[in-house]
Amino acid sequence: MEEMNRKVEKVLLKGNVMSLASIDEDGFPRPVPMQKIGSEGANIVWFATGMGSSKVYNYRNDAKAGLSLYLDHNSIVMTGIVDIVTDKAIKAKLWQESFVEYFPKGVDDPDFVLLKFTGKKASVWIDKDFAKLTF
């Protein structure tokens, strides 16, 4: 499984746009395309969003989340949780200049928050090999 974890990490590093799903107020999945701003290992992916977004509202009510990615004939589907991160040091570390269009006050913009997806389980198809992983 260590080899597959390395492959998952590599695909996550290369991936750019992923589907991130929250659970809405009616109990239904709400998948949205999100641009990844960072990843760590085989099960942590970072995203930026606005504090007033539906995603933040949903994750405050239910941290359960789903993530999926398809890249170069490889597929990753994960379930896990999302933490809403407002820590200034972490926000500064992951800040990208292109964010200023959405968050004009920069890292200090009160609307700028991070979503940290932590995968707990995954089903992956990478290099023609299927695996189920638990993190």
For a pLDDT cut of 70, what percent of the chain falls above it?
100
pLDDT in tens, 104-127: 999 999 999 999 999 999 999 999
What single-letter amino acid sits at 26?
D
Q: Is the pLDDT of residue 1 over 90?
A: no
- Over residues 70-98, the mean pLDDT reads 98
- Over residues 43-70, the mean pLDDT reads 98
Q: How far apart are CA 50 and CA 73, in angstroms?
A: 32
Cβ neighbours of residue 27 closer than 8 Å, sequence gap 6 or more: none
Q: Is the pLDDT of residue 93 over 90?
A: yes
- Over residues 74-85, the mean pLDDT reads 99
* Second CATH level (architecture) for the domain 2-130: Roll (2.30)
Output the pLDDT for position 41.
97
pLDDT in tens, 63-75: 999 999 999 999 9
| DSSP 8-state symbol, 27 | S
Q: Do 114 and 91 meet the contact criterion of CB atoms below 8 Å apart?
A: yes
The helix/strand/coil state of 83 is strand
